[in-house]
Amino acid sequence: MAKDLFIDLLYVEKVTDDKRTENQFKELLKGFKKQYLNTTPKYEIDFKKAYSNKRKYYLKLIENEYIKNFNQINDALDANSTADHLSFLYDNAHRKFLNYLTQIKNYISDNVIVESLSLKPIQNDKSDEAYIISFLKANAMMLFMELQERFSELSDAEIYTIEELHEVFFNEEPPQELIVKSYSGAEIKTVRKQVKQSSIFNAIQGDFRKENNDVLSYNALINKIKQREFAKLEELLNEKGIIDDEYNFIKDRGNKILLAAFMVKLTETKYFNERIFFDSKPSKKIEPKHIYKFFAYRYGPSSNAGKEYRRFLGTEKRAYQKLVEANFWLDQIK
């Protein structure tokens, strides 16, 4: 799975595309490392028990991602810092969680998800999808509620109740029995994780692999006036866990489709030269194959996203647009 599960389950690694067997999910469940909340929550979820290994797997995946987000906002916003800095951090988290709600609502609408299927004693692709997306929705709502209940004094953003989240963001009446409820468990001793110094990634403005006559050079492909910005974007790829500190592609699920979207976004925003110039023959137009071959060589053979790149340029433009809209780091590339 790629870097933001709340978005990836909607656009990158959709539940309906997952054809793994019950036995495979059973094995995956054994590999989960238990995650712990770093302080007592304000809310909890009352959700129908999962019986299949597929549902158990996705619930654990979403639960772990929720805990990661919960711990991050508490570590960041409960720290000693200036009021302006804390307000900035709050607004960033607020936008992020609002985007979760918006994208989940769009997915439910676009894919005609009947959430009541999640409560029925049937197990098929549609009921599994309804069950998992409903749980994702509940966790996104709970994150939003935790954020504003704990730290809303840091911002002037509007405050919502759980009932209002259903009405405002999902255009629905709140259920008679709320899924997101006030926490009723035992107090959790507050634990603050020490921040480790991250590894240093050195972005390289130029070629660093052996010359390859089948691949355009850095200067031949990357627009000179965009090269500094391109280096910053490669730092972002490293930060997002798409390439490692040695410029090698990280083969996590969903990373290849994000790399393809990254290449399309760079194409749209004129990061690439339009033509190749030669000393002794006419210039030649740069084509899509030149672009995806450059990245496949730069980040290693397992990074070849040529097929995904061509699809985003052609038959899957709408899927590309949705992916960009859902991922702020892609959307902000100019």
Q: For residue range 14-56, what is the model confidence (pLDDT) as tens digits? A: 888 899 999 999 999 998 887 888 888 999 999 999 999 999 9
Say how many C-beta atoms besides its own lie within 10 A of residue 150's C-beta: 18
Residue pLDDT, tens place only, 117-172: 888 877 888 999 999 999 999 999 999 999 999 999 998 889 999 999 999 999 99
pLDDT the model gives residue 278: 83
Sketch the domain layout of the chain as residue ranges: 5-182, 218-331
Neighbours of 10 (CB within 10 A): 24
Alpha helices of 121-161 — where are they, by DSSP H? 125-151
Strand 284-285 to strand 180-182: parallel, antiparallel, or no bridges (unpaired)?
A: unpaired
Q: Does the structure show a pLDDT above 90 at 201? A: no
The pTM score is 0.64
Distances from the Cα of 118 to the Cα of 33, 115, 130, 229, angstroms: 26, 6, 5, 46
Each residue of 228-270: pLDDT tens digit? 999 999 999 998 889 999 999 999 888 999 999 999 999 999 9
Please answer whether residues 260 and 2 qualify as being in contact, where contact means their C-beta atoms are separated by less than 8 angstroms.
no
Find all residues with CB under 8 Å of 254, minimum gap 6, and list them.
Answer: 1, 2, 3, 8, 12, 13
